[in-house]
Amino acid sequence: MTGRLADRVAIVTGGSRGIGRGIAERFVSEGAHVVIVGRDRTSGDEAVGALGEGAVFLEGDIALPETSTAMAALALERFGRLDILCHNAGIFPETRIEAMTLAEWERVIAVNLTSTFLSVQACLPAMRQSRWGRIVLTSSITGPLVGNPGMAHYSASKAGMEGFLRTVAIEVAGEGITVNAIQPGNVLTVGLEQTLGERHIRIMEAAVPMGRLGTTQDIANLALFLAGDESAYITGQRIAVDGGQTLPESRTGAT
């Protein structure tokens, strides 16, 4: 621990598991207080128990405006300030376009994209008041950089997120607030291991020039940088953390 976020207060949506959990752990280890937002009370309570007094959990659906309002209010009530929003919550169901229903499309857009607007809007007043803020969005290489069959709704939501951040970054640039996005490649989480299995994971690794999938720590390291003082002159940017996955002209170029 180096205290790079000492006394800062962060909100991490989707922070009870996977990439969000890794980010929350990194922030707490660097001295931040963290509000974790998620839909599952069990995993949320477990995360807070592991992180200790520096963390608190809010149960809620991030696609609903009342959740964003409540998480900002909780940060201010419990810790007295709000410095960092790491909007990480998202869903990625797989459905080919011919089978995709309007309800499926709307749910992915609501959880991944509309929630970005709601979360940022709810957190900006506190950041504007202190004239310091860091907004870090978890985007993806899928949508902004590459496509993936069955992920049209997800791809659209992440591409939309990045268009949103460019404009917001301009709007708040003169107020000490930065807005940036992380584009993870394939990240190895417990959920991914359980869903895909060993064989599929080896195939995915073969498409990455570095020869391995990313870890939650790889993503958390960049989130820490973008959430701190060192990134004060960086805004409106999207940074891929993918082990070079998007570099080759073809899959054979990654071997």
Catalytic residues: 154
Contact 199, 207 (CB under 8 A): no
Contact 17, 191 (CB under 8 A): yes
Both structure tokens of 62:
């991030």
Instruction: Outline where 11-151 has alpha helix (H).
Output: 18-29, 41-51, 65-79, 102-109, 115-130
Distance CA 205, CA 193 (A): 13
State the first-to-last Cα distance of the chain, in angstroms, to the nearest integer. 37
Contact 134, 82 (CB under 8 A): no
Residue that the structure tokens 């993806």 belong to: 140
The residues facing 209 across adjacent strands are none
Contact 3, 54 (CB under 8 A): no
Q: Quick check: helix, strand or coil at residue 47?
A: helix
Report which of 56, 59, 54, 19 is spatially closest to residue 188, judged by C-alpha positions.
Answer: 19
Q: Cα 24 to chain center, whole Å?
A: 11
Handedness of CA 146, 151, 156, 157 (dihedral sign): negative
